[in-house]
Structure 1
Amino acid sequence: MSGGWNTIESDAGVFTYLVENLGVKNVQFEEMISLDSDYLRQLSPVYGVIFLFKYPVGQSKPDDGNAVDGNFDFAAAENLFFANQVIQNACATQAILSVLLNRGDIEVGNDLSEFKEFTQQFPSDLRGEALSNSELIRTVHNSFARSSPFIDEGTRAATENDDVYHFIAYTTINGNLYELDGLQPSPIAHGPCTDENFHEKIIPVLQRRIERYPANEIRFNLLAMIKDPRVTAAAIGDVETLEREEQRREAWLWENELRRHNFVGFIHEVAKEVARSKLKDGGFDQWIEEARDKSKKRLADKKGGLADVEMEL
């Protein structure tokens, strides 16, 4: 069972407004277009990184109980916010919360503050249960799911033939770089790290992660959680940056609204109106015949193209 959680996209606009709707202040997401420490430094302050990657169904864990990269830190799990993922499709929001609720320099709002306080003494599996049962967090999460009348991702479990994707988080906590993955037994420590050198420390960790995959695997996505640029721009009077960021926010709002709607009914009504118009002016049969001729021509052209390919081979 998915518990009513739907898949959401790894998108800067989706994540930015998701956390805003949860009550978080002055946080924005930026897509990392390059695994370059200088580029990441330019986005400072960076609170953390959300990493999306293909997760092989049935992937086994190391037999020796050690992490593939870094070290399990079971003691840290008791002193920071770490929740095991116990429900399908919640990993995006869970990764985001893994950064938000472990930072002391982000204003997360009353609701998330109360949730963190309520789950503070829970073991990681019960924190995951509490997260999955949070009506507020689930409702906000699902409000950014792409609407589809054909797919219910909670009706079946993933199989080995499916492409399954997973979100994890990286952030600095108590002077260390941590990987926070709800499918792992504990946080994974990657060594000493501060906010000042996070941009240098995180890049080799990400590179090692990506190198585990075949060279032709390119389906990764990285989003940096940063301070809202509008705050700094307003403080220093940078009108150009402020206007540019406001325009981006407006574009994200529009895109998010489009995600909430499916257009099957609209397309159906348009098709009916076109057919009605053709019937009214007596051109319906001609319209159908022209469409049939075009389909035949496309099929013939396609067959001709395949023949050319066979000759070349």
Structure 2
Amino acid sequence: MSGGWNTIESDAGVFTYLLQNLGAKDVQFEELISLDPEMLRQQSPVYGVIFLFKYPTGEQASSTPKDGTFDHDASENIFFAAQTIQNACGTQALLSVLLNKEGDVDIGPHLREFKEFTTAFPSELRGEALSNSELIRTVHNSFARSSPFIDETQRAATADDDVYHFIAYTPLNGVLYELDGLNPAPISHGPCTESEFPDRVIPVLQRRIERYPAHEIRFNLLAMMRDLRIKAREIGDQEWLAREEEKRKEWQYENALRKHNFVGFVGEVLKMVARQKLQEGNGAYEKWVEEAKGATKKRVEDRRKKGIASDELD
């Protein structure tokens, strides 16, 4: 393999344009802010959901899942890949839904070729093929935040790190499946049609969340659905269409910012300011420092008068 995989954010804009750059058409993601079947149903057609949670690194592996049952025969009929590399689980969860919805979704020529190539593979080889796909890795890494300090493609997680993991839920062949590449097989959560999916998946998610302490709130849920702009055009809702187009522009802007490293820019600004003060003479520089100290002191005093402790400063 020619390169590693960086961490990407659980963000609707990131995942939507990741889909688009992989070649999929007329599909997007939306973040769900509550576990409400009706909210999910309103987005119909929904192809599946991707759930992000803090991975319990201290748990021992088990031959049986805590919820549902392993369906070892399902891998022969659906796309399921073992996770064989760090940091790829977000894109892997996305593909676990997308590649199983070919027919409902135009997955594009590159992913169609990849799926056909790996159809006869066992899950371990599918995972290796995914991890070694230059196209998928390049598109994935293009959405990682730029960092001048850490090369995540070469860094392994340590015991002190908070480790997060993505998994997918989708209805396939009349069954609700949980697709997690760290498990040996897809997990069946019982019968489920496309129309029943919102009512079936929400209780499964609630049971998973209930296994965590009450103070744990670091979860995220993204739904994969048909492009909402299509529905807006179909019903002739121009205001809705305009909002969706504006949202796409915001996503593009945010994704562009993720690709840029601003540390160099900030450093140049600081050097420019320092150079200017030095050119004005040492006295001007010292005066500038003292003015800054005085402003900080005044701010602390003002907050103390209002009853705000100094350690609560931004």
Same fold, judged at TM 0.5 (above):
yes
3-state SS of paired residue (2:277): helix
Cα deviation, residue 2, structure 1: 11
Tell me how large the CA RMSD over aligned residues is.
2.3
Alpha-carbon distance between aligned partners in 2 of 1:295 and 1:150, rounded to the nearest angstrom: 30
Residue 286 of structure 1 corresponds to 287
Question: CA distance change for structure 1 residues 88 and 308 in 2, over 3 Å: closer, same or farther?
Answer: closer
TM-score (norm 1): 0.92
- Name the structure 2 match of 1:67: 65
* Amino acid in structure 2 at the alignment position of 1:96: L
Q: 1:142 maps to what in 2?
A: 141
Q: Paired residue for 1:98, among 93, 96, 99?
A: 96
Using the alignment, how far apart are the partners of 1:54 and 1:236 within structure 2? 40
Letter in 2 for 1:133: N
Distance 1:152 1:91 in 2: 18
Q: How far does the alpha carbon of each residue in 1:61-91 deviate from its partner, in whole angstroms, 9 at most, with x for none?
A: 22xx211100000000121100000000000
Which string of whole-angstrom CA distances, capped at 9 and with x for unpartnered residues, describes residues 4-45 of structure 1?
100000000000000000000011111001101111111111
Matched position secondary structure for 2:240: helix
Name the aligned partner's letter for residue 91 of structure 1.
C
d(CA) in 2 for partners of 1:308, 1:272: 30
Are 2:13 and 1:13 aligned?
yes
Q: Distance in 1 between matches of 2:300 and 2:110?
A: 58
Which residue among 67, 73, 87 is the counterpart of 1:89? 87
1:6 & 1:111 partners in 2: Cα distance? 21
Give the secondary structure class of the aligned counterpart of 2:100: coil
2:162 maps to a residue whose letter is D
SS class of match (2:190): strand
Report what 2:254 is aligned to.
255
Q: Mean alpha-carbon deviation: is it higher for 202-211 or for 237-246? A: 237-246
Counterparts of residues 134-283 of structure 1 (less than 5 Å): 134-282=133-281, 283=284
Aligned-pair CA distance for 1:60: 1.4
CA distance in 2, matches of 1:234, 1:303: 56
Supply the AA of the counterpart residue of 1:67.
Answer: P
Distance 1:102 1:94 in 2: 12
How far apart are residue 157 of structure 1 and its match? 2.3
Conserved 8 A contact 2:131-2:137? yes
Gapped regions of structure 2 (runs ≥ 5): none
Is residue 127 of structure 2 the alignment partner of residue 128 of structure 1? Answer: yes
For structure 1, list consecutive stretches of 5 or more residues without a partner in the other structure.
Answer: none
Write the letter of the residue equivalent to 1:80.
I
Return closer, same or farther for 1:229/1:303 CA change in 2, 3 Å cut-off.
closer
Q: How many aligned residue pairs are there?
A: 307
Contact 1:2-1:154 at 8 Å conserved across structures = no
- TM-score, L = length of structure 2: 0.92
Q: Which runs of 4+ in 1 moved over 6 A?
A: 296-309
